[in-house]
A and B are shown apart, each in its own frame.
Chain A
Amino acid sequence: MRMIRRRTFLLAALLNRFAWSLRAQDVTLPNKSGSVRFAAIGDMGTGEPAQYQVAQRMLQFHQQFPFTFVLALGDNIYGGKSPAELQKKFEIPYKPLLDAGVQFYAALGNHDDSNERFYKFFNMNGQQYYSYKKGNVHFFALDSNYLDPKQLMWLEKELAAAGATDWKICYFHHPLYSSGAFHGSSTELRVVLEPLFMKYGVQVVLAGHEHVYERVKPQKGIYYFTEGASGELRVNNLKKTDLTAAGFDKDRSFLTVEISGDDLYFQAVSRTGMTVDSGTIRRAGAVQAVAP
């Protein structure tokens, strides 16, 4: 354990010296007053240098675009779950963000231990699935490993209670639509979730699992993002199909989002700071994507 801590400390110190620059003009999000601002990361909990580098880039982005919370889309802690491993794979890489008051709201992936729901930093309050509200946005974090009737009933009740005027964003680990070559679309999950999303007006769905970034063309009026490359990566694994609106599989990445009124602005950023996708979604209209 002491060895892991020492190595992790050295790694963090090294990365802090690795000065990347990020200019204000690199941020395409409007930074509007009173907006809801968050980031989304998935499949990140490796404890490897790439995860630390993405975390460092997120910190720089945070200085230009002060997001207040992060959605963790699953596979938050790969491999061992000992105290030292949790520190190495979560607390150390994201310490500067945690220190800045940024909160993480996790969904469980297939590599996670369900006891991570008791880990205070993940804000799951001991629940496998849960919901919360930020501004005019309702968030629903699901456990896509185990969509039993109880969870589906809970989701339907929560979606119905959220009303029709606010944004509704669902997130979980397995993507319902994906052009990733390794896993692809989770069609059995789609068959139970998509009807609920449509019935209750969910606008945006975020997932991980595929170790790439992808934005899917709206499916039945719903916008789907996959961000599963915030630690892990499968280079050239995105086999772009008719589903794909934009994608990136050359390096790690994270997604940032700003919601103001009826507009949702998004910007996906690579580990090196390159904008790999950006655009705006209007609640009642079409996406206006901007090529990177």
Chain B
Amino acid sequence: MSLRTAVLLVALVGIPLTAADPPRIPSSIPDSPGFREFSQRLEEYLNLQKSVPRLRTTKKREEIVARRQALAQKIRETRSDAKQGDIFTPAASEEFRRIIRSVFQGPRGASVRKTIRQGEPSVDRHLTVNSDYPEHLPVTTVPPTLLLRLPQLPPEVAYRIIGHDFVLQDLEARVVVDFIPGALP
């Protein structure tokens, strides 16, 4: 299944949840121009990234660090002109902002805010595309009730929350791929 198909399979509609019901995994996604753009740009990023050797399991601590650094360096070289908004295009950003806003304003809004605060959230940082994800910064839990409404990502990347910014992170390279400034209320 291509990334685009995977993204298109995820719903962006409200998913009411009670503690008694198993989560309903979304099965479709509205055909939004913003998410189509996001999907396409992300696929391009992943194609570029395929030329770089991935990490593998090892007991050698040095190997993990060296390979991560090599991966990050290669990404920086191959997309040296990357800038904020390349993947979270204006149309895509608008879709993400709309969904984030609706989750925060929805019936689970208070609980979603509490979940984000529980992760020892950081204050706002000055982010730049291609920079390292700050090494000492704890990961803020992305509320699963929000993730259920966003395009699903391949294992190489993940959504992150840093302060009020919504971030796309390359997990192995620990590089900020793109971000939406001030997306979180």
Contacts and interface: CB of A to CB of B under 8 A. Distances in A.
Given A120-B57, A148-B153, A188-B111, A82 B65 contact: yes
B115 interface: yes
Contacts of A80: 135-136
A81 B144 contact: no
A59 interface: no
Interface in A95-129: 110-115, 117-121, 124-126, 128
Contacts of B148: 149, 192
B36 interface: no
A149 B58 contact: no
Interface residues of B, number: 48
Contact of B17 (A113, A119, A191): A191
Contacts of B65: 81-83
B112 interface: yes
Interface string B103-146: 00000100110110011100000000000000110111111110
Judged by DSSP, the binding face of B is: loop
B145 A192 contact: yes
Nearest to A145: B139
B50 interface: no
Given A82-B65, A145-B141, A186 B115 contact: yes
B68 A115 contact: yes
Nearest to A149: B25
A86 interface: yes
Interface string A78-95: 011111001100000000
Interface residues of A, number: 46
Contacts of B145: 188, 191-192
Contacts of A146: 139, 141-142, 147, 158-159
Nearest to A196: B22
A184 B23 contact: no
Contacts of B174: 113, 115
A187 B55 contact: no
A144 B59 contact: no
B184 to A, nearest CB: 14
Contact of B144 (A83, A121, A192): A192
Interface string A9-31: 00000000000000000000000
A152 interface: yes
A144 B153 contact: no
Given A125-B57, A146-B142, A110 B120 contact: yes
B155 A120 contact: no
Nearest to B62: A83
A120 B58 contact: yes
A48 interface: no
A153 B19 contact: no
A108 to B, nearest CB: 8
Nearest to B10: A149
B10 A79 contact: no
Contacts of A128: 155
A117 B147 CA distance: 22
A195 B21 contact: yes
Interface of A: 79-83, 86-87, 110-115, 117-121, 124-126, 128, 144-150, 152-153, 156, 174, 183-184, 186-192, 194-196, 199
Which 9 pairs, one residue from A and one from B, show the smallest C-beta to C-beta distance?
A83-B61, A147-B144, A188-B115, A195-B22, A120-B59, A192-B23, A110-B138, A188-B143, A148-B147
